[in-house]
Amino acid sequence: MHKSIDQINERIRDGTVRVVTAEEMPAIVAELGEEGALKEVDVVTTGTFGAMCSSGVFLNFGHAEPPIRMERIWLNNVEAYGGLAAVDTYIGATQQSDTREEQYGGAHVIEDLVAGKSVELRASRAMRTSGIMPLPIQQSTFCIPTWECCCPIAVTCPIPVREC
């Protein structure tokens, strides 16, 4: 049995298309057999809601008082990328926790933020050295006196999140 894209598109247009998930397909095959399932089902979705290696989120924390240039950033002990701007970061979904390794990581932080849970933000300025002598090099930026901070944060998501 072969269905062309044109045939499937026609069924989409007339409202008779049958779309199932990959999880549902084995039961349909068990009930109707392979040929019957091929006749009955037009599209099998195989997408995932899981975090992928290129998944992540950009965050802006707003300026604290006193201000800090966040260069080293952790969210729930998961290191995030600093250096974007004074209070911006990118956390990758596959970044592992410094303390819980494979048990918790960037995807968990993102899930916690979307769920409205409080997440601990820890940030500091980077200490740079030059040559043989470990002397700190000042980052050229506007007056930012704070060197480190640690506080709970929560994100209010303006977009409603629906269950899949």
Residues 60 and 25 in one domain: no
What is the reported pLDDT for 136? 46
Residues 76 and 105 in one domain: yes
Residues 22 and 73 in one domain: no
What is the residue range of 105's domain? Answer: 56-153
Residues 28 and 82 in one domain: no
Residues 62 and 18 in one domain: no
- 160 assigned to some structural domain: no
Residues 91 and 137 in one domain: yes
Residues 146 and 72 in one domain: yes
- 164 assigned to some structural domain: no
What is the reported pLDDT for 154? 58
Residues 63 and 127 in one domain: yes
Per-residue pLDDT at 148 exceeds 50: yes
pLDDT in tens, 23-46: 899 999 999 999 999 999 999 887
What is the reported pLDDT for 79? 94
Residues 39 and 86 in one domain: no
- 93 assigned to some structural domain: yes
Residues 133 and 94 in one domain: yes
What is the reported pLDDT for 145? 47
Looking at the structure of the chain, the number of domains it has is 2
Per-residue pLDDT at 157 exceeds 50: no
CA distances from 24 to 27, 32, 156, 161 (A): 6, 13, 35, 24
What is the reported pLDDT for 124? 80
What is the reported pLDDT for 49? 62
Residues 41 and 60 in one domain: no
pTM to 2 decimals?
A: 0.56
Distance, CA of 66 to CA of 147 (rounded, Å) = 10
**Strand runs labelled E in 51-156:** 56-60, 72-75, 78-80, 88-92, 96-97, 101-105, 119-124, 148-153
* Average pLDDT for the chain: 78
CB-based contacts of 77, cutoff 8 Å, min separation 6: 97, 98, 99, 100, 104, 120, 122
Residues 76 and 128 in one domain: yes
The pLDDT > 70 percentage for the chain reads 73
pLDDT in tens, 69-124: 788 889 999 999 987 887 889 999 999 999 997 899 999 999 898 888 888 888 88
